[in-house]
Structure 1
Amino acid sequence: MELVLGFDFGIKRIGIAMGNTLTGQAQPLAVVKAIDNAARFKQIGELIAAWSPARLVVGEPRHPDGTEHEMTLRCRRFANQLHGRFNLPVTLVDERYSSAVIHAKRGQIVDDQAASIILQQYFDDHANNN
């Protein structure tokens, strides 16, 4: 069993979810409201120290046709920073399919719930590939 943390990266907030490979179920964990990179990674580092995940999952946004946009590159950079700072494997998950759920409920959904949807997609994809 591995504990996994999932991230919904945003410029103002980062949603974080947790789950494990045994149950394959994701749940919201926290929202990091970052003033700057140092504060952002300090809070993330505290969560990583507390939960000791084996892997990190980051949602990778794309246009509906699969092409990249500005946030795609920002999320990829964030994923690279996570890997570099915490020396954990990072998996990018195409969040186009989860975005429909997120955008449909944008008035009700918060960032940690969005991260949970992304992480659940990772678990579902992983289960289907085994």
Structure 2
Amino acid sequence: MGRLLAIDHGQKRIGLALSDPDKIISKPLKTISYLNYGDLLKELILIINEHQVEQLIIGLPIGMHGKKTSQSEKVEEFKSFVEKKIDIPIIYVDERLSSVSAKKSLISQGIKTGYNKSKVDQTAAAIFLQYYLDKKNYS
């Protein structure tokens, strides 16, 4: 059984979260800082192979009124780039408020978020991946 890998895409880094093999639970994996998509893709391929990822779940930033944002276009460009290089299914999920939820979750655990943006990114990915897993109900 393969896993799902969630990507919280940002301009300087991506937060990653991984499902368990049964696709019931998500957990933060890591955050990758990048300068260009080529280098980022190499690292993503290593992670995909290492964890036997069968599908990518990319968070699509949607505004509070349900419309795409300028960041949505950047995420769509990223998805298009990755689709040309990696032969596994890629879907979007609405990541609205996932970063806010991630910050609240980390603060409630006593983790400071101001200088720990990488932790916020991977936690946000875990939050929208868990939402997707719960909605899909793989069990």
Q: Aligned partner of 2:120: which letter?
A: V
When normalised by structure 2's length, the TM-score is 0.81
Instruction: Return the match for 2:128 from 118, 122, 125.
Output: 118
Match of residue 3 from structure 2? 3
AA of the residue aligned to 1:78: F
Residue 14 of structure 2 aligns to a residue whose secondary structure is: strand
User: 1:77-114, CA deviations, whole angstroms, 9 ceiling, x for partnerless residues?
Assistant: 21222222111101100111434413546536421111
Give the ranges of 4+ consecutive aligned residues of structure 1 lying more than 4 Å apart after TM superposition: 103-106
Structure 1 regions of 5+ residues with no counterpart? none
One-letter amino acid of the counterpart of residue 72, structure 2:
T
| Paired residues, number | 129
Say whether residues 1:60 and 2:60 are aligned partners: yes
TM-score (norm 1): 0.86
**Amino acid aligned to 1:3:** R
Aligned positions of 1:16-35 closer than 5 A:
16-20=16-20, 22-35=22-35
User: Which letter does structure 2 place at the counterpart of 1:116?
Assistant: A
Q: CA RMSD in A?
A: 2.1
CA contact 2:56–2:91 (8 Å) conserved in 1: yes
